[in-house]
Amino acid sequence: MISFTEENYLKALLRISFDSGETGVGTNELAMNLGVKPATANDMLKRLRDKALVDFEKYKKITLTIAGKKIATEVIRKHRLWETFLYEKLEFSWDEVHDVAEQLEHIQSTKLIDKLEKFLDYPAFDPHGDPIPSKGGELTKQFRKTLLDIPVGQLCKMVAVKDNSSAFLQYVVKVGLGINNEIYVQSRQEYDALMVIEVNGVASSVSEKFAENIYVV
């Protein structure tokens, strides 16, 4: 049996390598991400290696094994299906779903998650625009552009957010933005990359940090 904690480590490994675009993950990076000390992460990594869920040599980068990746993907699948349930069926707002899904993602029942998926009518994306892996499926690696990559004078469409924190998501709503909204890039400051964007006829200034957390096409 796999523990909640082990699942969280595996999920973090998959997400970090996904976000960074690199295969291997560092111990400190992982520890930072999970809010534990490097020594703690190192202990757990040795246990996950004993269980053949991760691969790594002393002082080298960590990678998930096939088995480890499978578990991590299942946890992400559950997380995103639960977020969708909370958003679609229980009237949660998109900034509230993540924290509860962090708990729900660890419920062990294949039947539950398959029935939930059916109940939701096989959704492809969660409320933040992230793809939901299908049963037994992989997390497909897609190269997504952020709002930072859009040149001045161009129109784009928001498809997802990178940061899932409540603080950021509420800010996004305040700017009048949401999934599938069109964004027009009016101008950009050379000095600090501050952008002026227009959404539904309303102009707002957004920072570099903000822009890099908005995925667009």
Q: Considering the complex, what minimum distance in angstroms separates the CB of residue 111 from its own copies?
A: 7
Among its own copies, DNA, Mn ion, none, partner that 90 touches (CB below 5 to 8 angstroms by kind)? its own copies
Residue nearer to its own copies on the CB measure, 29 or 74: 74
Q: Using CA atoms in the order 144, 120, 87, 160, what is the torsion angle rounded to 10 degrees?
A: 10
Contact partners, residue 89, CB within 8 Å, separation at least 6:
120
Beta bridge partners of 64: 54
Name the E strands within the chain: 54-55, 63-64, 145-146, 155-161, 182-188, 195-199, 202-206, 214-216
What's at 127, amino acid-wise? P
One of 52, 67, 90, 203 touching its own copies (CB under 8 A): 90
Q: Which does 92 bind (CB under 5 to 8 A by kind): its own copies, Mn ion, DNA, none?
A: its own copies
- Is residue 151 within the footprint of DNA (CB under 7 A)? no
**59 makes contact with DNA (CB under 7 A):** yes
What is the spatial distance between Cα 166 and Cα 61, in angstroms, rounded to a whole number?
31
* Complex with Mn ion: residue 8 or 84, whichever CB lies closer: 8
Is 44 a binding residue for DNA by CB under 7 A? The answer is: yes
Contact pick of 15, 18, 26, 88 for DNA (by CB under 7 A): 26
Which residues bind to DNA, rule: CB under 7 A?
A: 3-6, 26-29, 35-40, 42-47, 56, 58-61
